Structure 1
Amino acid sequence: MTVYDVVAKRWEHGWELRIDGVGVTQSRTLARAERTVRDYLETLLGVSTDGATVVVRPDLGALGERVRQVRERTRAAQDAQRRAAVEAREVAQALRDEGLSVTDTAAVLGVSRGRVSQLVS
């Protein structure tokens, strides 16, 4: 599989897109950068880029590290949320299996009776 590494650098009229080992093009927005790179490559090289991967990395200077940290923390929080949801279902079911009513299970877990029903269904 072909991978094109692209460094996007902000400038007055949008983004300069440096395609490693190929060349440079421009895009008004970062959102259109991948499509712009694909169009550029297809025109320049005369081949389809359908099977290729285009990795656009914005060069944001010092902010780049902060962006990376925020994205990492967001992924970690999403993973923790998924694990907590699985555990909540397991605990709710265990409480019900022990004979607690839906009302008592809700009180123990600090959720509504409706949420208990969702968790155990």
Structure 2
Amino acid sequence: MNAITITARRWSGGWELWNGNDIWTQVRTLAKARQQVIDYLDTMEEDIDHSTWNITIVPEIAQAAQVEQSAAASKLAEESARAASAASRKAVRALKDDRYSLADISYIMGLSRARVSQLANS
């Protein structure tokens, strides 16, 4: 599969889409940038299907570092949530194996009875 990285630079009418030092095309919103690049490539190379290409649009913005930090924090939070769920499932199963009731497990773990039931059955 072919891959390409396009830099999006903001201007008064939307975004300019650059490939290296060459401006290729423009688009009003970033949400439509990928399709605009495909359309541009299709006009340049009509015999090639560009719809399956891996096209990465990188907005050139001053807040890029903040966006990256936010994405990293979100990823870490998701990983932590998965780890917490796995640990909770393990604890619920261990308590259930020792024949504690769902009500008691709920109290012990500080979770709702419905959540304990979900964890016990997942």
Report the TM-score when normalising by structure 2: 0.91
69-78 or 93-102, which deviates more: 93-102
Tell me the equivalent position of 1:31. 31
Structure 1 runs (4+) greater than 3 angstroms displaced: 20-23
> Conserved in 2, the CA contact under 8 Å of 1:4 and 1:20?
no
> Conserved in 1, the CA contact under 8 Å of 2:6 and 2:56?
yes
> Conserved in 1, the CA contact under 8 Å of 2:16 and 2:23?
no
67-76 or 43-52, which deviates more: 43-52
Pairing of 1:81-100 with structure 2 (within 5 A)? 81-100=81-100
Report the alpha carbon displacement of residue 20 of structure 1 after superposing the two structures with TM.
3.5
Aligned-partner residue type, residue 89 of structure 2: R
Tell me the percent identity.
33
Pairing of 1:56-95 with structure 2 (within 5 A)? 56-61=57-62, 63-95=63-95
C-alpha distance in structure 2 between counterparts of 1:23 and 1:43, whole Å: 15
Residues 25-80 of structure 1: CA deviation (Å, up to 9, x unaligned): 1000000000000000110122220331111000002x001001101111111111
Q: Give the root-mean-square deviation of aligned CA atoms.
A: 1.4
Report the alpha carbon displacement of residue 83 of structure 1 after superposing the two structures with TM.
1.4
C-alpha distance in structure 2 between counterparts of 1:21 and 1:51, whole Å: 24
Residues 3-37 of structure 1: CA deviation (Å, up to 9, x unaligned): 11100011101000002376421000000000000
Name stretches of at least 5 consecutive residues in structure 2 with no aligned partner.
Answer: none
C-alpha distance in structure 1 between counterparts of 2:114 and 2:49, whole Å: 53
C-alpha distance in structure 1 between counterparts of 2:44 and 2:59, whole Å: 23
Residues 65-103 of structure 1: CA deviation (Å, up to 9, x unaligned): 100110111111111111111111111110111222111
Aligned-partner residue type, residue 49 of structure 1: H
> Conserved in 2, the CA contact under 8 Å of 1:7 and 1:17?
yes
C-alpha distance in structure 1 between counterparts of 2:3 and 2:20, whole Å: 10
